């Protein structure tokens, strides 16, 4: 299918629109939003909702399009947000998933010719610059034409077959036996096969842009998992480069030019250390050379890829050819054994103790190695004297019966001599010294789990196809087919090689890792046909090419992670050269790769990268299983041969292999991934990628909410689930931010927190202000570290809005049970819904809803989260018991570092008939059973006579209330009153009668119903100045006097005891049942809390919240 895209100027949108030719009906074709998405992924795919629908709400998509004359006039006002289906489909057809990897860099360098368009590409993201209109109308990029075989199968084949096959597979077969090796290969290949099935499902569920496997994991599991696994995959790829380089140097120094070693020693015990030092020096030089090649131009790596692949395929064919030839003409590579011990064939030419030259018997070079002189009567090694020298063929051939000797394992400890079973051997005395003798020793201890860790890197590389998805003609068909065929092919090669090696090669030679017994030849090389050099040279270039590929791919993976912005301190590695080459990421990769080089042992590096690859594969399987089980609507992969059980099995197998390889490496890898996860969660940029973890969270939340609906919360599980009611200023800023500070100190991030506020008006008019208010509140919640939800509603008046929040906030069982609000300091200045009337109604509504109420007085004096009290007390005044919330709150506060050093004191009030001493003992016992540490004090409040101050305070309160009632007429009511008086006068003059009232219909039109009733019940006389004087002559209500007396006396006691307390908590009395005394209720509370610094009035919800039982 022919695919193309339109080229528009970066930063010159208008010019780009003018450049495009008109299409059908005068409609101009605009720049494809996919290109904008590719240019700036951080705007679309990285946390911005446009990733999921880049065509919707793109206001600059259809600029300049004329809709006149269309048949869609009904929708033309929405065209700026919702494009027509025809233009949408046209853009989708023009979209092509651009090449990732190295092709774009090669094109960027080659496209400098004057007749070609200028394309600037950074890690798979094009920035296109148009030519002038008279030179170029449309620019196109040739569609990718790579098929399954070239684009997926061969790259996977090249990445899977590599250094382990050539350098370690024969040794693994010798140590684990055919049976054990078969199980090792079978487990690892099954793991990659199951992972490939899961990967195929993910890769065919839509287009996979730049990033390959990292993109799949991160977009399926979210930024936290994606970043952690992406970095692990990066580290695995980087250490794989180190392993390939070490393999290259091992082949060079061991099999090609051993004389090139810099560090040499005559002491056999120091040979291993000298070899490691040589590996470090040559490895460092090699990585510097390879990094330079990648930096100068990765196009050379791309061109050499076919050469490297040819080396791999040629080597494989030479192995099978050698196996066939060994059936009728085995190669002549004899082994020399002393007794049953294998000898390293060096420093001697013939496998014999003595040789005959003419008629004279002389000692051989082997004799001189075991004896102290070149004479037949010299003193020799005891074992050498007791045992004979035997020469056997190292490769008996496939027609031999050696396969039966190699079926079972031959694990050996480090430093053990390689011995052939079945040969006679007379042991020497226990004091035998073997140091310096030409025996072949095992360099490391061998056991099953260690061999799994060394072998597993040989089956990695299955992601090569998905990483090249942009090069493929049909990625959704080629990736599953090519990857699975490559895995099946390589699995067959590995399994067949295990059987063939065991059937052709002698067991002791298989266990000879470096071919010392065959004069330092590569073991797999001497089996190959036509020459061992085919394998040696082929494996050298293969490992060298694999190292270059790792140094090419790993920096681009790091660049993709850095450009996503999920790990802030890695963003510097997203930059590179002008053509997009990730320079800084390449330097980082070379530095990490150098760590593996300094380890210098291929056998030690292989388990490290096994951990990282296994972790990556585990999360690929998890992503597929998760998406399948959640039944996400967008989960519609074209690859149908998958099932969640296969993905789960693959995930379990990956986890098991991690611990089989090395349990401590597995724990370290998981710790690294966990640290990265928590760091991204704590500091990383917030992204919304529609990932499966979010879907899992939604399902888990739904399940938990349904479970919570089953019954009421038990007292032991009760905790304050807060609804915080905030007041906002005209700019939608929070008036009392210390309320959120108190919330954080009280909640410590646990339980439900809903922060609500009310705006007066209609939602259509104030929806933008609602968004602004929510942003301000969320910003303040972030500053105060308040974890919760924000909900701003618009209502015709504040009282109704608060009522709606109290009734409807929360969902299911996750509803608030406590309301936190600030005391209205200016309640005397307003009697509307936002003043004292609204406050008293809110108190009544929380009581009716069985919700607790917390009211803070002097809110702005409460401490911030940064303050620390070095001492002081939290005083609790327990007047009445309404559920025990008064006891629980100071305990919760004391858990926060602001209040941690404050002591808790509990006061209770004793009446004249109470036994204060017994009350104190009972309260102390009660607190002991509640497991609360607090000082207890019983305060006696005697029934004193009502003071003159109390009487006067009550009188002033009632006089104020009465005057407010008389002065309560608003401006409109005053106009109505004036109209009523005018109508009365007009009626009186017209009829000449003495009636002072107006007809009932007239009263109904100008007065409210309450005024009509009041008018009927009142006398006909109007308000006179005498009525105002009666206010000052009135006597206070005795009920109010008693309430005021309680408030004054209790306030005196509280101030006397708790004036210096850091916080005072006391019971909040309920409002009167008769609403006519609401303003007096506010006055009572004001008097109750006078003279105190910080006050938290508490009103319980009517249920027990604290218990003495476990």
Query: Strand, helix or coil at 456?
Result: helix
Nearest C-alpha neighbor of 381 from the set 443, 436, 442: 436
User: Residue 932's pLDDT is what?
Assistant: 85
Instruction: Name the phi and psi angles at 110, rounded to 5.
Output: -80, -25
Q: Look-up: residue for tokens 């020497």?
A: 428
Q: Please say whether the beta carbons of 904 and 873 come within 8 A.
A: yes
User: Residue 19's pLDDT is what?
Assistant: 39
- How far apart CA 827 and CA 834 sit, in angstroms, is 9
pLDDT, greater one: 20 or 641: 641
Taking residues 905-915, report their average pLDDT: 82
User: Residue 421's pLDDT is what?
Assistant: 87
Whether pLDDT at 616 is above 60 = yes
User: Residue 739's pLDDT is what?
Assistant: 92
Whether pLDDT at 1005 is above 60 = no
Whether pLDDT at 202 is above 50 = yes
- How far apart CA 164 and CA 461 sit, in angstroms, is 13
Q: Does the pTM of the predicted model rise above 0.75?
A: no
User: Residue 1010's pLDDT is what?
Assistant: 55
- How far apart CA 584 and CA 590 sit, in angstroms, is 10
Q: How is residue 439 written in tokens?
A: 């025996």
Taking residues 817-825, report their average pLDDT: 90
Q: Please say whether the beta carbons of 483 and 199 come within 8 A.
A: yes
Strands (E), 467-509: none
Q: How is residue 887 written in tokens?
A: 């006891």
pLDDT, greater one: 410 or 1014: 410
Q: Please say whether the beta carbons of 308 and 545 come within 8 A.
A: yes
User: Residue 596's pLDDT is what?
Assistant: 93
Q: 1041: pLDDT confidence band, cut at 50, 70 and 90?
A: confident
Nearest C-alpha neighbor of 798 from the set 837, 836, 838, 764: 838
Q: Exposure pattern of 716-731 as b/e (b: 16+ CB <10 Å)?
A: eebbbbbbbbbebeee
Residues of the chain with pLDDT > 70, as a percent, come to 74
Q: Please say whether the beta carbons of 363 and 353 come within 8 A.
A: yes
User: Residue 1105's pLDDT is what?
Assistant: 78
User: Residue 115's pLDDT is what?
Assistant: 41
Instruction: Name the phi and psi angles at 357, rounded to 5.
Output: -115, 105
Question: C-alpha angle 1076/1079/1083, rounded to 5°?
Answer: 140
Determine which of 93-107, 269-283, 602-616, 865-879 has the lowest per-residue pLDDT on average.
Answer: 93-107
Question: C-alpha angle 304/308/314, rounded to 5°?
Answer: 140
Query: Strand, helix or coil at 431?
Result: coil
Strands (E), 286-347: 334-338, 341-342
Taking residues 561-589, report their average pLDDT: 85
Whether pLDDT at 1074 is above 60 = yes
User: Residue 437's pLDDT is what?
Assistant: 86
Mind spelling out the 3-state secondary structure of 676-705? HHHHHHHHCCCCCCCCHHHHHHHHHHHHHH
CB count within 10 Å of CB 947 equals: 13
User: Residue 491's pLDDT is what?
Assistant: 95
- How far apart CA 644 and CA 635 sit, in angstroms, is 13
Q: What is the pLDDT of residues 925-983, one digit of tens each?
A: 888 888 888 888 888 876 665 555 565 566 566 555 655 555 554 444 555 655 665 56
Query: How many residues are listed for the chain in this entry?
Result: 1110
Nearest C-alpha neighbor of 1102 from the set 718, 705, 750, 710: 718
Question: C-alpha angle 645/648/654, rounded to 5°?
Answer: 140
User: Residue 1003's pLDDT is what?
Assistant: 37
Taking residues 358-362, report their average pLDDT: 82
Which residues is 724 bridged to in the sheet?
A: 755, 820
Taking residues 175-201, report their average pLDDT: 94
Whether pLDDT at 604 is above 80 = yes
Instruction: Name the phi and psi angles at 609, rounded to 5.
Output: -70, -25
User: Residue 72's pLDDT is what?
Assistant: 58
- Helical (H) or strand (E) element with 907: strand 903-910
Output 681-685 pairs: Cβ under 8 A, ≥24 positions apart. Answer: 681/224, 683/568, 684/223, 684/224, 684/227, 684/565, 684/566, 684/567, 684/568, 685/46, 685/47, 685/223, 685/565, 685/566, 685/568
Largest CA distance in the chain: 172
Q: How is residue 1084 written in tokens?
A: 């009572």
Residues of the chain with pLDDT > 90, as a percent, come to 30
Max mean pLDDT range (75-79, 321-325, 745-749, 962-966): 321-325
User: Residue 926's pLDDT is what?
Assistant: 85
CB count within 10 Å of CB 927 equals: 18
Determine which of 505-514, 557-566, 605-614, 897-906 has the lowest per-residue pLDDT on average.
Answer: 557-566
Q: What is the pLDDT of residues 39-49, one digit of tens each?
A: 344 444 444 34
Q: How is residue 799 written in tokens?
A: 């009282």
User: Residue 591's pLDDT is what?
Assistant: 94
Question: Can the peptide bond before residue 530 be classed as cis, meaning omega within 30 degrees of 0?
Answer: yes
Q: What is the pLDDT of residues 323-347, one digit of tens each?
A: 999 999 999 899 999 999 999 988 8
Question: What residues contact residue 1095 under an 8 Å CB cut-off, 6+ apart?
Answer: 823, 856, 857, 858, 1063, 1064, 1065, 1066, 1089
- Helical (H) or strand (E) element with 566: none
- How far apart CA 34 and CA 30 sit, in angstroms, is 11
CB count within 10 Å of CB 347 equals: 10
Mind spelling out the 3-state secondary structure of 729-751? CCCCCECCCHHHHHHHHHHCCCC
Half-sphere exposure for 1026 (CA within 13 Å, toward CB)? 2
| Concatenated DSSP letters of 51-108 | GT-TTTT-TTSSTT---TT-S-GGGGGGTTTS--HHHHHHHHHH------TTHHHHHH
Query: Where on the phi/psi map is residue 569: left (φ > 0), alpha (ψ -120 to 50), or beta?
Result: alpha
Tell me the H-state helices in 99-139: 103-110
Nearest C-alpha neighbor of 614 from the set 554, 665, 548: 665
User: Residue 55's pLDDT is what?
Assistant: 45
- Helical (H) or strand (E) element with 624: helix 602-630
User: Residue 247's pLDDT is what?
Assistant: 94
- How far apart CA 401 and CA 381 sit, in angstroms, is 34
Whether pLDDT at 658 is above 80 = yes
pLDDT, greater one: 537 or 68: 537
Whether pLDDT at 1020 is above 60 = no
User: Residue 209's pLDDT is what?
Assistant: 60
User: Residue 914's pLDDT is what?
Assistant: 75
Whether pLDDT at 1018 is above 80 = no
Q: Let me know if 913 is exposed, middle or buried by CB neighbors in 10 A (0-12, 13-18, 19+).
A: exposed
Q: Let me know if 527 is exposed, middle or buried by CB neighbors in 10 A (0-12, 13-18, 19+).
A: buried
Whether pLDDT at 15 is above 50 = no
User: Residue 1038's pLDDT is what?
Assistant: 63
Instruction: Name the phi and psi angles at 906, rounded to 5.
Output: -120, 125
Tell me whether strands 753-760 and 852-857 are parallel, antiparallel or unpaired: unpaired
Whether pLDDT at 88 is above 70 = no
Q: How is residue 64 written in tokens?
A: 């300049």
Q: Please say whether the beta carbons of 339 and 354 come within 8 A.
A: no
User: Residue 411's pLDDT is what?
Assistant: 93
| Mean per-residue pLDDT over the chain, rounded | 78
Q: How is residue 935 written in tokens?
A: 């000082």
Q: 686: pLDDT confidence band, cut at 50, 70 and 90?
A: low
- How far apart CA 306 and CA 1024 sit, in angstroms, is 110
Taking residues 731-758, report their average pLDDT: 87
Nearest C-alpha neighbor of 343 from the set 217, 508, 458, 477: 508
């Amino acid at each position: 299918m022919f695919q193309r895209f339109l080229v528009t100027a970066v930063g010159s949108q208008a010019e780009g629109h003018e450049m495009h030719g008109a299409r059908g009906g005068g409609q101009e074709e605009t720049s494809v939003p996919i290109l904008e998405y590719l240019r700036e992924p951080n705007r679309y795919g990285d946390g911005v909702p446009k990733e999921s629908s880049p065509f919707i709400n793109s206001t600059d998509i259809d600029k300049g399009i004329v809709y006149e004359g269309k048949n869609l006039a009904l929708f033309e006002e929405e065209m700026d947000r919702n494009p027509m289906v025809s233009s949408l489909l046209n853009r989708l057809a023009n979209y092509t998933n651009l090449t990732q990897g190295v092709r774009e860099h090669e094109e960027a360098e080659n496209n400098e010719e004057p007749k070609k368009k200028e394309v600037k590409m950074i890690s798979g993201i094009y920035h296109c610059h148009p030519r002038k209109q008279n030179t170029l109308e449309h620019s196109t990029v040739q569609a990718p034409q790579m098929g399954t075989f070239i684009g997926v199968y061969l790259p996977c084949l090249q990445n899977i077959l590599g250094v382990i096959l050539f350098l370690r597979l024969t040794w693994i077969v010798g140590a684990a036996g055919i049976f054990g090796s078969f199980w090792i290969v079978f487990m690892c290949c099954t793991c990659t096969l199951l992972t490939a099935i899961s990967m195929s499902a993910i890769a065919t569920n839509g287009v996979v842009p730049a990033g390959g496997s990292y993109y799949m994991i991160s977009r399926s599991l979210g930024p936290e998992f994606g970043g952690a696994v992406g970095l692990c995959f990066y580290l695995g790829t980087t250490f794989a480069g180190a392993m390939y380089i070490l393999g290259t140097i091992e082949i060079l120094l061991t099999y090609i030019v051993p004389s090139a070693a810099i560090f040499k020693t005559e002491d056999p015990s120091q040979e291993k250390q000298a070899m490691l030092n040589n590996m470090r020096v040559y490895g460092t030089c090699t990585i510097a050379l390879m990094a330079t090649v990648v930096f100068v131009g990765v196009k050379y790596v791309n061109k050499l890829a076919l050469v490297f692949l040819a080396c791999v395929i040629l080597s494989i064919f030479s192995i099978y050819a050698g196996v066939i030839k060994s059936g009728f003409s085995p190669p002549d590579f004899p082994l020399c054994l002393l007794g049953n011990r294998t000898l390293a064939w060096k420093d001697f030419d013939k496998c014999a103790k003595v040789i005959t030259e003419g008629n004279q018997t002389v000692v051989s070079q082997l004799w001189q190695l075991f004896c102290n002189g070149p004479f037949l009567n010299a003193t020799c090694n005891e074992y050498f004297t007791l045992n004979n020298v035997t020469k056997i063929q190292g490769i008996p051939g496939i027609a031999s019966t050696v396969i039966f000797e190699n079926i079972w394992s031959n694990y050996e400890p480090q430093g053990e001599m390689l011995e052939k079973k079945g040969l006679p051997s007379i042991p020497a005395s226990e004091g035998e010294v073997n140091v310096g003798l030409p025996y072949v020793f095992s360099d490391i201890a061998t056991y099953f789990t260690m061999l799994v860790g060394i072998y597993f890197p040989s089956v990695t590389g299955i992601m090569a196809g998905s990483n090249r998805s942009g090069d493929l003609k049909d990625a959704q068909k080629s990736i599953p087919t090519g990857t699975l065929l490559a895995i099946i092919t390589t699995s067959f090669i590995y399994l067949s090689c295990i059987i063939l090696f065991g059937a052709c090669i002698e067991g002791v030679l298989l266990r000879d890792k470096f071919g010392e017994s065959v004069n330092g030849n590569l073991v797999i090389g001497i089996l190959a046909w036509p020459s061992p050099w085919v394998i040696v040279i082929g494996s050298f270039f293969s490992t060298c090419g694999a190292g270059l590929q790792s140094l090419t791919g790993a920096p681009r993976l790091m660049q993709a992670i850095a450009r996503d912005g999920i790990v802030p301190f890695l963003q510097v590695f997203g930059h590179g050269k002008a053509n997009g080459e990730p320079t800084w990421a390449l330097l980082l990769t070379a530095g990490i790769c150098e760590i593996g080089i300094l380890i210098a042992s291929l056998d030690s590096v292989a388990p490290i990268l096994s951990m990282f690859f296994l972790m990556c594969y585990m999360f690929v399987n998890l992503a597929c299983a998760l998406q399948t089980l959640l039944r996400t609507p967008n989960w519609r992969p074209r690859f149908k041969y998958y099932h969640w059980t296969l993905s789960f099995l693959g995930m379990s197998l990956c986890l098991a292999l991690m611990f089989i390889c090395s349990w401590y490496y597995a724990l370290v890898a998981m710790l690294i991934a966990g640290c990265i996860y928590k760091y991204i969660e704590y500091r990383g940029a917030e992204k919304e990628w529609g990932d499966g973890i979010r879907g899992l969270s939604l399902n888990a939340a739904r399940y938990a909410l349904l479970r919570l609906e089953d019954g009421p919360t038990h007292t032991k599980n009760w905790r304050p689930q807060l609804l915080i009611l905030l007041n906002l200023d005209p700019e939608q800023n929070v008036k009392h931010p210390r309320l959120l500070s108190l919330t954080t100190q009280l909640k410590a991030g646990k339980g439900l927190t809903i922060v609500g506020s009310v705006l007066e008006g209609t939602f259509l008019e104030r929806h933008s202000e609602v968004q602004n208010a929510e942003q301000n509140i969320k910003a303040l919640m972030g500053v105060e570290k308040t974890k919760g939800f924000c909900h701003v509603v618009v209502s015709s008046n504040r009282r109704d809005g608060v009522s709606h929040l109290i009734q409807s906030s929360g969902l299911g069982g996750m509803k608030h049970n406590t309301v936190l609000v600030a005391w209205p300091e200016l309640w005397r200045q307003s009697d509307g819904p936002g003043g004292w009337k609204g406050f008293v109604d809110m108190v009544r509504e929380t009581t009716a809803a069985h919700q607790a109420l917390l009211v803070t007085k002097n809110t702005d004096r409460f401490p911030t989260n940064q303050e620390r009290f070095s001492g002081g007390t939290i005083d609790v005044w327990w007047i009445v018991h309404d559920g025990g919330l008064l006891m629980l709150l100071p305990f919760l506060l004391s858990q926060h570092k602001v209040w941690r050093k404050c002591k808790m004191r509990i006061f209770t009030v004793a009446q004249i008939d109470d036994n204060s001493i017994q009350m104190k003992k009972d309260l102390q016992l009660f607190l002991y059973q509640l497991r609360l540490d607090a000082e207890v004090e019983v305060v006696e409040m005697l029934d004193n006579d009502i003071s003159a101050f109390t009487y006067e305070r009550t009188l002033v309160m009632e006089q104020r209330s009465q005057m407010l009632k008389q002065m309560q007429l608003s401006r409109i009511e005053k106009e109505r009153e004036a109209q009523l008086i005018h109508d009365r006068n007009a009626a009186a003059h017209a009829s000449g009668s003495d009636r002072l009232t107006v007809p009932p219909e007239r009263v109904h039109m100008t007065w409210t119903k309450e005024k009509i009733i009041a008018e009927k019940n009142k006398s006909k006389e109007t308000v006179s100045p005498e009525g105002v004087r009666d206010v000052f002559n009135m006597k206070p209500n005795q009920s109010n006097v008693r309430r005021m007396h309680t408030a004054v006396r209790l306030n005196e006691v509280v101030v006397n005891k708790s004036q210096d307390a850091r916080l005072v908590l006391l019971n909040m009395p309920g409002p009167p049942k008769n609403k006519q005394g609401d303003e007096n209720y506010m006055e009572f509370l004001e008097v109750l809390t006078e003279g105190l610094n910080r006050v938290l009035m508490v009103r319980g919800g009517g249920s027990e919240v604290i218990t003495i039982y476990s």
